[in-house]
Amino acid sequence: MNSLKNFVLILGTCFVVPTYCMVVQPFAAERNRQTVPYVMEDPGSGKAFDAPELKGLSYPQAFAGDRKRGEEIYARQGCAQCHTQVIRPDYAGIDQFKKGWGKDRGDAMVPTRQTNMWDYMHEDFAMIGQRRIGPDLANAGYRFDGTTAETDPAKVKAEKQRALNDFYLYLYAPRARREWSISPGYRNLFITRPKEGAGSELALKLPANLAPAEGLEIVPSSDARALADYVLGLKRDQPIPVSITGAKPKESK
Amino acid sequence: MSQEDQSALLVEVTPEEILQRAAIDRSTRLPVLFFFTSAAAWLLIATILGIISSTKQLVPGFLGIDWLNYGFSQPAFLNALLYGWAFQAGLGVMIWMMARLCRTELKNPITLVVAGHFWNAGVAAGVLGILGGYGTAMKWLEFPPMVWPILLVSYSLIVVWLVVMFSARRKGSVFISQWYILAACFSFPWIYLTANLILNVFKGTGVAGPAIASWYASNVLFLWLVPVGLGSAYFIIPKIVGKPIHSYQFASLAFWGLIALAPWTGAQDLIGGPIPAWMPAFSGAAQVLLLIPMIAITFNHYLTVKGSHKLVELSPSLRFTFFGSIGYAVTSVSAAVLSSMVMARYTAFTYVSDAVAITGIYMFFSMTMFGAIYFIVPRITGCEWVSGGRIRFHFWGSAYACITLAVVLLAGGFSHGAGTENWDSDMHDANVFSSGYLVGRILAWVFLAAANAVFLHHLALMVANAGRKAGGPTLIHPHAPYDEAELVITTEGAEA
């Protein structure tokens, strides 16, 4: 094997096969991935069926609003250096049972479902992340949950706004919420400006040591608002269609 | 290739041979010095960014500058270290070794220097882009998307001349270092183009995205850094020890083992993640199998040096290279540890992946490159290194820091993983458990900054032609008179 030609041929073979298997084929599979409609079969037929309230929907639902731009901000600000977005099965880690990583808000241990390929199919690049220095954000939407049992529209709106402001405060000064946090504050995503009238409803309510001078207010920039749309929308717990899980049909009640 | 072929490396040095070598060295002087000096400058920048990012991780308010937040400074540090320092140092060594081993003069040094300027501009744009908030989330590909074509084209413009040199080589037999360097010439454009086309141009990769980025990062490590580092080690060790490689057949087999297995690695970063389960299984298996070529190579190096350990103590090139060879073993073992299913529970997404990156880029590759630089620079500048004491400081500063980094990142990673396993503490326990180790990491980077500042100054003196003009090669220790009889370092120094 002393000729360049043979060397390049063998080298090429060594590269091409793994590149196809580890790169091209998985990429093609993701590009061809389709949303899966929930199926409403009659329980009597013995075929699989999904919950009735999912009728006419597909899994997963597409991103809404400014989430696409929020995803880009998330990548550019280096969030994925410290935050993962993946709930692995129990053989690989405790993710499913970790307190606060799913829908659970209380002290009870509520298992979170694993993330799967469909959960990421609308993303340009799944933000699985490189390190897990901060908490997992696969279900970050529930960390800043603005839903409430109230029915009064004014109260519902106020609760939503409170959750949003919580998020902005955390983004601006993580230690205002948890003094042991080692998350950096992203002050570059906020604007300090003169207060107009009563001030914006988005203005941060900061503790005294961080508050701006009298007559000024700190409001999130459009980048921060897009990021909020994205992070507060991260709820990877949509029901998986039975056609994917292959579960046995449920007994009708 | 047979055992006899490599004797070409160690032929009796005739006066004609010396003239020819001097001519080759002269022809490569400009590009090689260009790459070495810009690499060393990037090394200093990367080291300072390393201090900043490791401090920022522990004290997020450090310096109070938002664009140095860990999310910016960490990728800026790693990419500056990789593309600024490692690639340029590697390119300098590749150019010189290829010219020497092919016994051909470099025909177009100016093209290489121009391409090198573009490479530097690309890296600078990339690092500033990350700090300015235009980076990506892709492992080792964090540069803003506009940078990759610049890097790809300038790299190709450089290595195409190495391939041309190889085709025009003077003698039939080919030494193992040449195969390693050739493999590195081809591997980087292949993986870089593939990864960037898919991740930055086609997009819409979903869960395949992080698997592809991990594949790329692992391949840069095992198909670029490892071949260049080993190519250099296979050249430096026999040269200084003055005897052929212990087993040439082993070296050859290990080479093909590495090339065949390394492209399968990478996806094991995502064990348990939402990718098809066969991917991490295959990658993990390949990563563990890579221990076999590693053992063959490390033993080969060790057995070649065996009996000449006195030289490891005295020769700067050999000492750095030998340490790098140990670093290769440490890298391979920690990469294999990371990819086993049992361990991944405690190591995935922790500092253990940083340990693999840092041992690979620094403890193995950088140390080997320092060895090669201490060997090459006196030959192309025609003067000797100013002082052995500075080299000694550089070596011990780097060696202590490398060992510290490997230990604290591995131990810190396991502690972090164990802390994460506490179900009701969110990330509090993990961060408290690992914080002590992170202090050690900051100290290690401060050590490295001091060592690298000395190295950069020493190199600047050599480039400015202010080196020692008379006397023998600079050794780490001034040799004591009673050593004189047994001390034969024929190939160390500008004359050889």
Q: Does B70 touch chain A (CB under 8 A)?
A: yes
Round the average pLDDT of chain B to a whole number and report it. Answer: 87
Q: Does B187 touch chain A (CB under 8 A)?
A: yes
Tokens of B66: 């938002």
When pLDDT is averaged across residues A37-55 and rounded to a whole number, the result is 72
Lowest mean pLDDT segment, chosen from A47-56, A129-138, A213-222, B38-47:
A47-56
Q: Does B149 touch chain A (CB under 8 A)?
A: no
Domain assignment present for B464: yes
Q: Does B275 touch chain A (CB under 8 A)?
A: yes
When pLDDT is averaged across residues A72-100 and rounded to a whole number, the result is 89
Split at pLDDT 50, 70, 90, the class of A252 is very low
- Write out chain A residues lying below 8 Å of B353, CB-based: 130-131
Give the best residue of A17, A22, A222 to mutate against chain B (max B CB count within 10 A).
Answer: A22
Residue appearing with tokens 């160390």: B492
Contact A151, B310 (CB under 8 A): no
CATH at B108: 1.20.210.10
Amino acid B489: pLDDT: 45
Q: Does A230 touch chain B (CB under 8 A)?
A: no
- pLDDT, tens digit, for every residue of B382-426? 888 888 889 999 999 999 999 999 999 999 999 998 888 888 888
Q: Which of B343, B344, B347, B208 is nearest to B275 (CA)?
A: B208
- Least Cα separation, residue A221 to chain B (angstroms): 14
pLDDT greater than 70 at residue B11: no
End-to-end CA, chain A: 73
Give the best residue of B1, B188, B205, B214 to mutate against chain A (max A CB count within 10 A).
Answer: B205
Query: In total, how many domains does chain B have?
Result: 1
pLDDT greater than 60 at residue B493: no
pLDDT greater than 60 at residue B71: yes
Domain assignment present for B10: no
Split at pLDDT 50, 70, 90, the class of B12 is low
Split at pLDDT 50, 70, 90, the class of A42 is low
pLDDT greater than 50 at residue B482: no
- pLDDT, tens digit, for every residue of B239-295? 888 888 888 888 889 999 999 999 999 898 888 888 888 999 999 999 999 999 999
CATH number of A62-237: 1.10.760
Contact B68, B56 (CB under 8 A): yes
Amino acid B21: pLDDT: 86
Residues 6+ apart with CB under 8 A from B216: B138, B139, B140, B141, B191, B192, B194, B195, B266
When pLDDT is averaged across residues B88-101 and rounded to a whole number, the result is 93
- pLDDT, tens digit, for every residue of B171-225? 667 888 989 999 999 999 999 999 999 999 998 888 999 999 999 999 999 999 9
Domain assignment present for B7: no
Domain assignment present for B12: no
Q: Do B273 and A86 touch (CB under 8 A)?
A: yes
Chain A / chain B CB contacts < 8 angstroms? 232
Return the exposure string of B115-151: e unless at least 16 CB atoms fall within 10 Å of the residue's CB, then b. bbebbbebbebbbebbbebbbbbbbbbbbbbebbebb
The share of chain B scoring above pLDDT 70, in percent, equals 93
pLDDT greater than 80 at residue A46: no
Q: Where in the sequence is the domain holding B48, given as residue range(s)? A: 19-483
- Write out chain A residues lying below 8 Å of B207, CB-based: 26, 30, 117, 120, 126, 128
Amino acid B172: pLDDT: 64
Q: Do A30 and B204 touch (CB under 8 A)?
A: yes
Domain assignment present for B488: no
Round the average pLDDT of chain A to a whole number and report it. Answer: 84
Amino acid B171: pLDDT: 65
Ordered DSSP codes for A43-109 = GGGT-----GGGTT-EESPPP-TTHHHHHHHHHHTTGGGT-------TTT-SGGG-TTSSS--SSS-
Lowest mean pLDDT segment, chosen from B58-67, B354-363, B441-450:
B58-67
- ipTM, two decimals, is 0.91
Contact B266, B214 (CB under 8 A): yes
Q: Do B344 and A92 touch (CB under 8 A)?
A: yes
- Write out chain A residues lying below 8 Å of B283, CB-based: 22
Amino acid A44: pLDDT: 62
Contact A34, B204 (CB under 8 A): no
Domain assignment present for B367: yes
Amino acid B494: pLDDT: 38
- Write out chain B residues lying below 8 Å of A99, CB-based: 423-426
Chain A segment 64-83 residues within 8 A of B by beta carbon are 74-82
Residue of A nearest to B212 (CA): A23
The share of chain A scoring above pLDDT 90, in percent, equals 17
